[in-house]
Amino acid sequence: MGMVLYGMNNTRTVSDQMMINHASAVKKAASKSLVFFDLPFRKKFNESEIINRVIKIKNLTKCDGVKIEGNLELIDIIKYLTKKNIPVMAHLGLQPQKYSNSKNFKIYGRNDNDLEKILNESILLEKAGAISILIEGVLTNIAKIITQKVKIPTIGIGASEYCDGQILVSEDMLGLFTEYHPKFVKKYSNLAKSVKIAVKKFADEVNEKKFPNKKFRYD
């Protein structure tokens, strides 16, 4: 949301109020889908503050659950929210909120101990009560092993076909966002080009006094 809709360099500057506005709109339009909001970044980690923010945003947006970036520090938070019947989706691998600039995003799994670490985290977060795990930007073997080991669904973005479900940002998939194109993005359309053509045609017709005309006016 921050990078695609607001042109931010990272996801850190998305505020709670921005998330409330957007998540509320999505939830209002979603008649069949589960809707999870993404908890915005805070520089200082505070368990009680995180819990209070999650509860507030969920109540205001009517979303079905929350996705939180983080690692084992979230175990007690997930346990508490689970007791309060608030579903939590964990987020492992590449975690964009840890980067002040999207140009520094790195694929997870290059180090020898990465597999053992993320697999251990996945299992412990599942035991804490997470209902699914979003795996982002990881090597294929890591996503495959995690999906095999945990009982909850894995949702992948840049994490291979071995996850249980897949994510693509709609603006990337539709070819609307052209500033950043990671390897895992497949463009199913090129709407940016179509938009440019349509806008130019509109401007030309206005300048040439071809639009509006009799067909598009009230007499």
Q: What is the pLDDT of residues 25-36, one digit of tens each?
A: 999 999 999 999
Same domain, 163 and 194: no
Same domain, 181 and 201: no
Same domain, 109 and 213: no
CB 69 within 8 A of CB 63: no
Q: Look at residue 181 in the predicted model and tell me its pLDDT.
A: 78
- Domains contained in the chain, number: 2
Please name which of 109, 77, 104, 78 lies closest in space to residue 93, comparing C-alpha atoms: 109
Q: Look at residue 179 in the predicted model and tell me its pLDDT.
A: 77
Q: Which residues contact 33 (CB under 8 A, 6 or more apart)?
A: none
Range(s) of the domain holding residue 211: 190-219
User: 3-state class of 50 per DSSP?
Assistant: helix
Which two three-digit tokens encode residue 96? Answer: 């964009």
Q: Is the pTM of this model over 0.85?
A: yes
Same domain, 182 and 197: no
pLDDT band at 163 (very low <50, low <70, confident <90, very high): very high
Same domain, 166 and 209: no
Bond into 153 cis (ω within 30): no
Beta bridge partners of 93: 136
Whole-number average pLDDT of the chain: 96
User: 3-state class of 171 per DSSP?
Assistant: helix
Amino acid at 123: I
Same domain, 154 and 212: no
CB 36 within 8 A of CB 67: yes
Which two three-digit tokens encode residue 83? Answer: 């007791």
Q: Look at residue 87 in the predicted model and tell me its pLDDT.
A: 98
Which two three-digit tokens encode residue 45? Answer: 């980690």
pLDDT band at 57 (very low <50, low <70, confident <90, very high): very high
CB 133 within 8 A of CB 150: yes
Same domain, 137 and 216: no
Same domain, 211 and 137: no
Percent of the chain with pLDDT over 90: 93
Same domain, 24 and 113: yes
CA distance 114 to 90: 17
- Residues that are catalytic: 136
pLDDT band at 180 (very low <50, low <70, confident <90, very high): confident
CA distance 29 to 26: 5
Q: What is the pLDDT of residues 80-116, one digit of tens each?
A: 999 999 999 999 999 999 999 888 899 999 999 999 9
Which whole number is the average pLDDT over 161-166? 98
Q: What is the pLDDT of residues 127-159, one digit of tens each?
A: 999 999 999 999 999 999 999 999 999 999 999
